[in-house]
Amino acid sequence: MTASQRTLQEIQTTLAADDVLARAKHFFSNRPSLYSTFLDMEGPGYCTFRGQGGEEIVIGVAPAENGGTRVTGSSYLFDMQVSRFFTTFESDTIV
């Protein structure tokens, strides 16, 4: 996986955008202490989190062209946590 693929990740899900953002808030706020984050900002279609050293995670949602929701996650250092978050959509993923 290249650096750009690690820092910007995307998945499509059958879940509604509001459900995805609620899931993100729960997932990132309940990580073990080394990778814990807190909700920094939120608005229609996105939420951002701050973690250790001020590291930022951004989760954005938008309607997908083929139905469902496109979810985009971006982080420079917390790329593994974004990947783990995306695995929570495995049963709800649109291929």
pLDDT in tens, 69-83: 999 999 988 888 899
Q: Encoding tokens for residue 61?
A: 């949602």
pLDDT in tens, 4-54: 556 899 999 999 999 999 999 999 988 766 777 899 999 999 999 998 888
Averaged confidence pLDDT in the chain: 87
Question: Could you please report the per-residue DSSP string of the chain?
Answer: --HHHHHEEEEEESS-HHHHHHHHHHHHHTS-GGG--EEEEEETTEEEEE-GGG-EEEEEEEE-TTSSEEEEEEESS-HHHHHHHHHTTGGGB--
